[in-house]
Structure 1
Amino acid sequence: MKVLFIPGNSPQPIFSHAPLVNAMRVAGHQVLVGGINWVLPTIASVGLPAVQITPLSEQEVSAFIESMPTDPESWAHSVGKVYAEIALSSLPNLLELAEDWRPDVVVGGGMFYTAPLLAHHLGIPCVRVEWDRNDTRPYDPGAEPVLRPVLDELGLAALPGPDLWLDVCPPSLRPAEDAARQSMRWIPLNAQKPLQPWMYSRPDRPRVYLTRGARMPDVADLRETAKHLLELDVEVVVGTSEQVAEPLRAELPEVRAGFVPLDVLAPTCDLMVHHGGGGTDMNALHAGVPQLIVDPEYPAVAISALVDFGAGLLVDDASHTPRNVLDAAKELLGDPTYRTRAQALSAEIAEMPTPARVVPQLEELTAQRKSG
């Protein structure tokens, strides 16, 4: 069986999909992983065969991010519009690919526009795999006007839904309307580097991980937040680029700053303070670590579910000061209930089917389509 994966347009979806890709390979199937030009090195770095679906570069993606509106509704509309444009620009390339290497099933990520269009053209099953807990449906209104001419040409009232929908969100945090999705265990996978012993060892005091994600953060805010967290007599590890880390280490030598593989570090942490990014969130959930979400840049539904479950706290934009972050961190570290609730979610993830256990469902889906 030939399986074409189209995870998404940034590195994190590649890491999230890779365990399922490898499970398919171990089961004896052929796989290709499609991506924009920016993510091809990431695909190759985890040992997967990478094919370009459109020449979009990291610089072009960065320019788009910098031009995005700030209010959540307009932001989501802009994201949906761009992802739909990427889907339409990549479709001719994927159809050309299929002439030489015709897939039996296509597996796509969230912002699910490229994969179902290709699957419809080829008459093959389509599988959707969520790469984190963030709901991508708010992006659909921005995508619909871009996709509408193509959908009309194909005689479709709407974008076709998946034949199988795989969800990595722990069931306790999943919205009621998504309960019927097939669960699949999220497996931690990140970019790597040579490790130092402190990265995988627990320190003699609580460890707090602080990050604002892969994008260029507000350096002054990151520095002030780290400085305030040090008042708690904790070890502070700041996950950021070397460009930001070097001056931060010079000013706060007691802070460990730079890139650390999060799948290695997370199990040694007592608290993770971040921007609500899906990859950081999933690593924290998997490791059973309480979370403090500060001024999130993504939709708040997933964050609210975490807070309501009792495994984290939110400091939103209106109340975001280093002092408020310090107070919330003190509560999370001081009340063991948060850790207990986070560990309950980790145990729930451990009970979800592994990617290897999901492979037979893709095999059956493909066999049924061929026989029907």
Structure 2
Amino acid sequence: MSLGASNTERYGGDYVSKGQILEALAELDAEVVAALLPAQVEELGPMADNVRVVESVPLHALLPNCSLLIHHGGFGSYANALVYGVPQLTVTTPVADQLHRGAGLEEQGAGLLLPHDRATPDAVYERVSRILAHSAFQDNATRLRDEANSRPAPAEKVAVLEQLVQDRRTTPWRA
């Protein structure tokens, strides 16, 4: 779980209690890892034995071994999970395009969307349990990863873009 830094850094808090969510997730037969900021860790009390809290660890160091990522819908979290083929639970506010990413994952069967105003610990637990119990979420996350990896790298398209600009360049109008 990584619910982002923006709310903590910009607004002084989060819209959902990480401690309560971690307590609920402790009921799972799984290791739960929460990658949090130091300020977020300070809010937590003691955790169950299967819950591990780590401070300021980059997601690319954790995701290769994850079965699911709970995140806030930010592009960095979304894209990192996509690259590693990890199913996603997006718990977010209607800020920018975060809802669209979560809805897109849900449409593709690679995750679920939970709007912040319905993000109770029980709701998070239910959706996490559903994702972990149904292999279709993992299959679809893997499919999206493979589709993304099959696309050409941006560097491979630079020459094409340069040629398009050159072909369409016109002489500036002069008075």
Q: TM-score range by the shorter chain?
A: 0.7 to 0.9
* 1:337 equivalent in alignment to 2:136: yes
* 1:260 equivalent in alignment to 2:64: no
One-letter code of the match for 1:289? Answer: V
CA contact (8 A) 1:276 1:297 kept: no
CA contact (8 A) 2:111 2:137 kept: yes
Taking only aligned residues, the RMSD between alpha carbons, in angstroms, comes to 2.2
For 1:117, the equivalent position in structure 2 comes to none
Per-residue CA deviation, residues 98-126 of structure 1 (Å, 9 max, x unaligned), is xxxxxxxxxxxxxxxxxxxxxxxxxxxxx
Identity %: 33
State the TM-score, normalized to the length of structure 2: 0.81
What residue ranges of structure 2 are gaps of 5+ in the alignment? none
Pick which of 334-343 and 274-283 moved more: 274-283
For 1:320, the equivalent position in structure 2 comes to 119
For 2:4, the equivalent position in structure 1 comes to 213
State the TM-score, normalized to the length of structure 1: 0.40
* 1:357 equivalent in alignment to 2:163: no
CA contact (8 A) 2:85 2:141 kept: yes
SS of residue in 2 equivalent to 1:244: helix
Give the alignment partner of residue 41 of structure 2, picking from 225, 239, 245: 245
Give the alignment partner of residue 84 of structure 2, picking from 287, 290, 297: 287
Per-residue CA deviation, residues 199-258 of structure 1 (Å, 9 max, x unaligned), is xxxxxxxxxxx122122042870111111111102222222211222453x522742221
For 2:147, the equivalent position in structure 1 comes to 348
CA contact (8 A) 2:89 2:102 kept: no
Separation (CA, whole Å) in 2 of partners of 1:231 and 1:333: 13
For 1:231, the equivalent position in structure 2 comes to 27
> CA distance change for structure 1 residues 314 and 305 in 2, over 3 Å: closer, same or farther?
same
Per-residue CA deviation, residues 123-169 of structure 1 (Å, 9 max, x unaligned), is xxxxxxxxxxxxxxxxxxxxxxxxxxxxxxxxxxxxxxxxxxxxxxx
What residue ranges of structure 1 are gaps of 5+ in the alignment? 1-209
CA contact (8 A) 2:16 2:116 kept: no
